[in-house]
Amino acid sequence: MSRRNLIVLTDVVLITCIVQRGLADTIVKAAREAGAQGATVYFARGTGVRERLGLLGVAVEVEKEVINVVVASDQVDYVFDRMYLAGKLDTPGMGFIYCSNLEKAATYISPALIEKLQAQSNSDSEQTEQSSAA
């Protein structure tokens, strides 16, 4: 294993939303418009309020879609709200959404972006030096 530097992302939060099958697309669209960089969706089957509604439970689909969205920690509240409202999750049976903190994440970052980030962090550190010197 070579000793080399990996660029690792911090302050990352995972938002997971479980909805009835067929309703994921509106939520993914809302998440993207709110600033999420990507989404992953897969199918699952679930139980919950459906079993407790008696006959009305047939109006809730057993098959679910699980949506995972990774956002930065300052985006969380806004993206969470947008996903919640787009999915109308305040109606019984429409789904569930939760966030979890991630320790770190990694993906491809283009060299141009790396240089821009380094330049930005250099200028930030210069500013702090100047302000502390002044």
Partner 1 sequence: METQIRFGDYIKEITVNHNEVSYKHLTPKRTVDENGQALPCQPPKVQLRTMDIYRLITPYVSVRFIEQLKAVVPLAIYMVFFQYFVLNQTVSDASIVGGGLFAVMVGLMLFMEGLKLGLMPFGETIGNTLPKKAHLWLVLTIAFLLGVGVTFAEPAIGALQIAGGIVNPEKAPYLYSLLTTYSGTLVLVVGGGVGLAAVLGTMRFIYGWSLKPLIYWSLIPTIILTMIAHLHPEVNKIIGLAWDCGGVTTGPVTVPLVLALGIGVASAVGQGNSSLSGFGIVTLASVFPILGVLILGFAVAHLVSPDQVLSAAQAAKEVAAQVTPGWHEVTPGVEIVMGVRAIVPLVIFLFGVLYLILKERMRDAGTIRYGITLAVLGMVIFNLGLTYGLAKMGDQSGSLVPGAFTQIEKMSGSPLYGPLLGVSIAVLFAWCLGFGATLAEPALNALGLTVENLTNGAFKKSLLMYAVAIGVAIGISVGVAKIIFSIPLTYILVPGYVVAVLMTYLNSEEYVNIAWDSAGVTTGPVTVPLVLAMGLGFGNAVGAIEGFGILAAASLFPIVAVLACGLYVQWKTKHLQIEDKLEGKEEFVV
Partner 2 sequence: MKKTSYKSITLITAPGKGMAIAEQLFKKGLSMVDLHHARGCFAGGPTRKNGAPIESEQEIITCVVSAEDSNDIFGLVFDLGGLNQPNGGFMYMQSLMTSTQAVLPREKEKTT
Q: CA 121 to CA 125: how far, in whole Å?
A: 6
Instruction: Tell which positions 62-101 bind partner 1, by CB under 8 A.
Output: 77, 81, 84-85, 91-93
Instruction: Tell which positions 23-62 bind partner 1, by CB under 8 A.
Output: 49, 51-56, 58-60
14 binds, among partner 1, partner 2, none (CB under 5 to 8 A by kind): partner 2
Minimal distance, residue 10 CB to partner 1, in Å: 24
- Using only C-alpha atoms, the chain has a radius of gyration, in whole angstroms, of 20
Which tokens belong to 131? 């302000």
Which tokens belong to 49? 């309020």
Q: Whose Cβ is closer to partner 2: residue 4's or residue 54's?
A: 4
Q: CA 133 to CA 91: how far, in whole Å?
A: 56
Q: Is the dihedral of CA 54, 59, 62, 67 positive or negative?
A: negative
Q: Whose Cβ is closer to partner 1: residue 42's or residue 107's?
A: 42
Q: Whose Cβ is closer to partner 2: residue 52's or residue 116's?
A: 116
The tally of CA atoms less than 13 A away on the side-chain side of residue 90 is: 5
8 A C-beta contact, residue 121 and residue 98:
no
Q: Whose Cβ is closer to partner 2: residue 63's or residue 124's?
A: 63
28 binds, among partner 2, partner 1, none (CB under 5 to 8 A by kind): partner 2
Could you list the residues that contact partner 2 (CB under 8 A)?
1, 6, 8, 12, 14, 25, 28-29, 32-33, 37-42, 68, 70, 100-108, 110
